[in-house]
Amino acid sequence: MMYTAEYIPGMTATCKKEMFKLPSFRCMTNFPSTDDSHIMNLEYMGSSTLGLKGMGIDYDSFNFKAGDYAFTLALGTIPGTTDMCYPVLEDIKGGPENTDSLYMFLQMSATVEDPSIMSMPAPCVGNNVGVVG
């Protein structure tokens, strides 16, 4: 679950609880059937290696649409897991500003360096005390 706080000037802050379904944090092991209603036209592009074969990062690549955006996403499996992935490359195109961006994720770590980013937003505290999921 993901909690977000919405702050609008002159109004009381509100809390929103929703499913966290971004594909960049889980592997698409159940491809082609996905339970993410935001992803449209999911297409598996294949697998490859970034860097030297046998020494580089193995990844699977997918194309999909979410809203007005088209994504190409390369996901590498987190070592020691079978269903958790991280983005290696992400290409985003479209949207109201006609975005065309390519992101490469380097020197990633599974360590959370600032634990405060995991804190529940203030408007959500008390609404879901002790609730997990």
Task: Decide if 75 contacts 85 (C-beta within 8 A).
Answer: yes
Q: What is the token pair recorded at 17?
A: 């609880």
Task: Decide if 125 contacts 116 (C-beta within 8 A).
Answer: no
The one-digit pLDDT tens for each residue of the chain (133 residues) are 567 777 888 888 888 776 655 444 456 655 544 455 556 678 889 989 888 888 888 888 989 888 888 989 898 887 777 777 888 899 999 988 898 999 988 777 666 677 777 777 777 777 654 444 4
Global pTM value:
0.56
Could you read off the pLDDT of 44-58 as tens digits, one per residue? Answer: 899 898 888 888 888
- Dist CA 113 CA 47 (whole Å): 31
The per-residue pLDDT for 28 is: 61
